[in-house]
Structure 1
């Protein structure tokens, strides 16, 4: 269910970015530019990227180097996948601390014509890391439970 919610949010964000850029383009051509359109489009696109990254991670659509894994047996491959997942989860948990601090530090900073708090932009890192940690934990549990197959 969370995947469908994530996908729906990503689709809405994409539609919002496209509509906003289209309306801003027409308004600029008509001689009445929308001065805040770029910063809102950037904010929406940033959140869209965060959701798209997690959706790609859920489907194993991120690129990877298969050279080592392709040359291992089934048991070695499974062990390497588990080690990889643990290392990436540990890295994301470590980075989460800094992303949280950065989000808090950026809240007083006001960006652009709308004077949007900087934390709105930087919160995407916190949410993105949390989503990726969740996804990787699910993959780790699945990988541990799964039998090694060739």
Structure 2
């Protein structure tokens, strides 16, 4: 099971790098073309779509690496047991919020199948799909972290 998650993590990291490179390249080429009076009219919409996907995927990467904002000064004042309880509480709370985001994101995805992305023929559903995919990945990450937290607690007894 660890091999699967490690492969998923690697794919996610490579996808984030590719998305960022694509955004930078697209914006750069669009700016150059604009200076030659040959604007790429779809560049803004595509760059925004790629950026939304990058945000959702990188939010999961940040969660995996515990890089989200934490009020460490307050958190470190608690005992180790209370820190674990707080961490578990916040994880359960975040799971609830992510589940809501997943459900409503799927509804948004299904309702945007006929809408087009700006001046392109791409369905807006591809933009909307980033929300439930990102929420689903973060749910998987939080559940894994909660199991690790429980396993580490049992190891220290």
Structure 2 residue 63 is the aligned partner of structure 1 residue 71: no
1:116 positional shift: 2.2
Q: Contact (CA 8 Å) 2:112, 2:125: kept in 1 or not?
A: yes
Deviations 1:74-124 (A, max 9, x none): 111111111111111122112211111111111111121113211111100
The DSSP-based 3-state class of the residue aligned with 1:146 is helix
The DSSP-based 3-state class of the residue aligned with 1:112 is coil
In 2: Cα distance, 1:9 partner to 1:23 partner: 21
In 1: Cα distance, 2:92 partner to 2:64 partner: 16
In the superposition, the TM-score normalised over structure 1's length comes to 0.93
Comparing 65-74 with 109-118, which one deviates more in the overlay?
Answer: 65-74
Q: Contact (CA 8 Å) 2:115, 2:124: kept in 1 or not?
A: yes
Q: Contact (CA 8 Å) 2:101, 2:131: kept in 1 or not?
A: no
Aligned twin of 1:44? 50
The DSSP-based 3-state class of the residue aligned with 2:70 is coil
Comparing 63-72 with 13-22, which one deviates more in the overlay?
Answer: 63-72
Aligned twin of 1:113? 119
Aligned twin of 1:22? 28
Aligned twin of 2:19? 13
Comparing 58-67 with 120-129, which one deviates more in the overlay?
Answer: 58-67
CA RMSD, aligned part only?
1.5
| Paired positions, count | 149
Runs of 4+ in 1 over 4 A off after TM superposition: none
In 2: Cα distance, 1:49 partner to 1:96 partner: 15
Task: Pick the aligned partner of 1:137 from 139, 143, 147.
Answer: 143
In 2: Cα distance, 1:126 partner to 1:37 partner: 24
1:145 positional shift: 0.9
